[in-house]
Amino acid sequence: MLRILLLAAALVVTYRSARAQSDAADPPAYWGKPSVDGGKCCETLGEVRENIDRIDRQILTLMAERGKYVAEAGRFKANPAAVSDPARVEAIIAKVRKIAGEDGLSPDVAERTYRAMIAAFTDFEREDWILRNSGGAAAPGK
């Protein structure tokens, strides 16, 4: 029982230490030197996070644009069931995996990300189709 209590105490101390480290504004790197942008970035975790936030904003802007085209595609579908197109999804995934490999991104990360995004947009397109064809307005976000 004492061993369990000591182990639990050690875990709490370790957790608090790790939490304090992650809460620090710019903790030191544990290994390596900056490697992004030819080694110009990133000296601090803050720089890493600023760049991730900048990129996330760009991704969201592009996703919003993609969503507009997804909704537009619904005009060419006869019914909500026609929204799903497994052959098209697999063609997109094959293309994405190839491009990811060429660009230095893990093809597996690209595939998993795209499968999730396509599933979400498929649901969005189906909901939008139903709303538009039941006399309702476009789906939220349009």
pTM for the model stands at 0.73
pLDDT 10s per residue in the chain (142 long)?
A: 556 555 555 655 565 655 555 555 688 899 999 999 999 999 999 999 999 999 999 999 999 999 999 999 999 999 999 999 999 999 999 999 999 999 999 999 999 999 999 999 999 999 999 999 987 666 555 5
> What are the angstrom distances between the C-alpha of 79 and each of 32, 45, 142?
54, 49, 20
The contacts of residue 105 (CB under 8 Å, 6+ apart) are none
Specify the CATH architecture of the domain 33-133. Answer: Up-down Bundle (1.20)
Tokens read off for 79: 């019914």
The contacts of residue 26 (CB under 8 Å, 6+ apart) are 44, 45, 46
Domain boundaries, the chain: 33-133
